[in-house]
Structure 1
Amino acid sequence: MTDNPPGLDLAKLQAYLGTGPLRAELIQGGRSNLTYRVTDGTERWVLRRPPLGHVLATAHDMGREFRVLSALHGSPVPVPRPVRLTEDPEVIGAPFYLMEFVDGTAHRDSAALAALGPQRVRALADRLVDTLVDLHAIDPADVGLADFGRPEGFLARQVRRWGKQLDASRSREVPGIDELRARLAETLPDSPAPTLVHGDYRLDNVLVGPDDRIVAVLDWEMSTLGDPLTDLGLLVMYTELAEQFDGVIPGVALAPGFPGSAELIARYAAGSGREVSSVAWYVAFASFKLAVVLEGIHFRFQQGGTVGADFDRIGDLVPAFVQHGLNALKEH
């Protein structure tokens, strides 16, 4: 803990909240919004704010994240209790929100996860899929999120949106990325009925309690109403790329007992009752989306707008995500 973490003015935050002296630390692991653990010595919170520097239009909306937490708190999908949203950038220099601090482990390291043993790893992976099924089973209207997105034409709009995000972050040529973008637009599958979509669902975006239960789903910055198979495609993509990117992205799928992509897909299909024969397209789309996200982070790194370690390696990952997407489309 420190009195002066990067990107957070604790004196201004303390004055705004009317608390005693605050201390905070940047929580490492995220590559997008900045996340801090904050305490006044008695209470503990987590604060989320947009990244420094270059910020893509429509991204990093604190209000959307806070609204989802408020809607889902108390639902079958565990989330931290939302505390306060402040959209006035004058308070700390950017919009932010506070949520309760939840004790739990975000598993990012395959070796640490492997220490649980194959049976516990398998059970945890099954719970990860089952929680996604629970999320997609929630009627958005029942939790006040009927207007949270525009499901009609979702996939076509998503491909266009991420293409525009790519254009906004171009600083170099990335072989194959425009081909992937075009082929995704040309081969859109028919979407199932829309649901609430997390947008970045994977094991290191949930907190796990000491009993191996999922105690909180985090990082809702990309959430919307849309095609639920986009969440499944992303989870499958991370599983398939775990070995290639171990040590750079979370390689938890390498832990003995973690199911392969086919098993993840089968469990989701059984739990949700959805048709999943076109999942390869969704894996390709997830690869494109992550390539664009990483290219945006690479852009910010070049401008000196990143906080934390290892950002110098992000740009090197982009071509491999592009190639994985192109390979997946061959199966669609």
Structure 2
Amino acid sequence: MDGSPTDLSHTVHRIAAEHGLTLDPATIAVNEMGLDFRVAIARTVTGDDWVLRLPRRPDVLDRAEVEGHLLRIVAPHVSPAVPDWRIQTPDLIAYPLLPGEPGLTLTEQGEPQWHTDISSDAYSESLGDFLSELHGIDPAEVTDSGIAVRTPTQVREKWHEDIARVTAEFDVADHLIARWDAWLREDSYWPPWSVLTHGEVYPAHTLVVDDAITAVLDWTTAAVGDPAQDFMFYRVAASPNAFEQMLTQYGAGGGHIWPRLAEHCAEMFSANAVGYGLYALETGDPAHREAAAAQLNPES
């Protein structure tokens, strides 16, 4: 589904109509931020607001099937709303618009545009509450959902495998390879338990009202694994005080904290480019490969 914004809107309108949603064409707004889905928000002729996700590639459909199953399990356990998929087909996933606005969007020029203060009390406390609820879900409830389930040992083994694959395919900076190797070898960084994680908790995936999180979107990367996966972005992007406040709220809600959590998050963030490298290899897209190469060897 390539083309101008007008062409994209026409495509969204057509596909929605094929599934019984009659959209007001003047209200269709397409967001290109997602790597796996194009997302549109639009109002029907009867005045209801909907979110429509259109897959960029066929390979995302199996993961979407898993995501839809997981959402039905998670919804009763967390305070923020999660998407209620009313339409789920190979060419369209659609659900009623959730309350709030994204904490982060991109402009037409691809520049980040912030809509919330992630270091505010409201955001940090609501994030801590949400993560304590999410991580408190018994992993046994989601074992059969189709998401990846890994023990702490398997989490580290997966990092070893992913880094090895990326370093075999890309020219990776020596200092990054050395940093990641030291991180993987040092036991004290790593938590000795696994939890259900969202996988990409950052402001573009959280809806907010008055800086408090009201909904959490895009559960494609959910897995049972390292809880730091859900703290990583906040550790780097928020103020140190806000991060500590979030952890205090998380602990008050029953979340478990280990001594080197903050350092572990920083090391994990340094390996963020590994995931992008794997994505580039998976899609075979030359533009993504070039961008991943730049992240993996920024001094080249």
TM-score of Structure 1 vs Structure 2, range by shorter chain = 0.7 to 0.9
- Could you give the per-residue CA deviations for residues 60-113 of structure 1, whole angstroms, max 9, x where no partner exists? 821222222221223334212221222x4xxx4xxx422221131222378753
2:234 aligned residue: 235
1:284 counterpart letter in structure 2: E
2:260 counterpart letter in structure 1: S
How large is the RMSD of aligned CA atoms in angstroms? 4.0
> Aligned partners of 2:150, 2:293: CA distance in 1, in Å?
32
Secondary structure (helix, strand or coil) at the match of 1:102 reads coil
1:224 aligned residue: 223
Q: How far did 1:293 drift?
A: 3.5
Secondary structure (helix, strand or coil) at the match of 2:76 reads coil
| Change in 2 beyond 3 A, CA 1:291/1:64 | same
2:205 aligned residue: 205
Secondary structure (helix, strand or coil) at the match of 2:86 reads strand
1:76 aligned residue: 78
> Aligned partners of 1:286, 1:63: CA distance in 2, in Å?
28
- 1:145 maps to 2:147: no
- Which structure shows the bigger proportion of residues in strand conformation? 2
Q: How far did 1:199 drift?
A: 0.7
1:259 counterpart letter in structure 2: N
Q: How far did 1:122 drift?
A: 1.6
> Which one of the candidate residues 95, 102, 112 is aligned to 1:106?
102
> Aligned partners of 1:7, 1:178: CA distance in 2, in Å?
46
- Which structure shows the bigger proportion of residues in helix conformation? 2
1:90-169 paired onto structure 2 within 5 Å: 92=91, 96-108=92-104, 112-113=115-116, 121-141=120-140, 144-147=141-144, 148-152=147-151, 153-160=153-160, 162-163=162-163, 166=166
> Aligned partners of 1:162, 1:32: CA distance in 2, in Å?
20
> Aligned partners of 1:231, 1:314: CA distance in 2, in Å?
22
> Aligned partners of 2:161, 2:203: CA distance in 1, in Å?
26
| Change in 2 beyond 3 A, CA 1:313/1:224 | closer
> Aligned partners of 1:46, 1:165: CA distance in 2, in Å?
36
Query: 1:207·1:215 contact (CA, 8 Å) conserved in 2?
Result: yes
> Aligned partners of 2:275, 2:49: CA distance in 1, in Å?
30
- Could you give the per-residue CA deviations for residues 280-302 of structure 1, whole angstroms, max 9, x where no partner exists? 224312331x2124446777796
Query: 1:27·1:35 contact (CA, 8 Å) conserved in 2?
Result: yes
* Number of residue pairs matched by the alignment: 279
Q: How far did 1:51 drift?
A: 3.8
Secondary structure (helix, strand or coil) at the match of 1:18 reads coil
| Change in 2 beyond 3 A, CA 1:149/1:181 | same
Structure 2 segments unaligned to the other structure (5+ residues): 105-111
Q: How far did 1:195 drift?
A: 2.0
Query: 1:298·1:314 contact (CA, 8 Å) conserved in 2?
Result: yes
1:85 aligned residue: 88
> Aligned partners of 1:76, 1:165: CA distance in 2, in Å?
36
TM-score, normalising length from structure 2? Answer: 0.73
Equivalent pairs: percent with the same residue?
Answer: 19
After superposing the two structures, state which structure 1 stretch, 98-107 or 181-190, moved more. 181-190
- 1:287 maps to 2:292: no
> Aligned partners of 2:149, 2:78: CA distance in 1, in Å?
24
Q: How far did 1:223 drift?
A: 0.5
Q: How far did 1:164 drift?
A: 6.0
Structure 1 segments unaligned to the other structure (5+ residues): 240-252, 307-311, 323-332
Q: How far did 1:274 drift?
A: 1.7
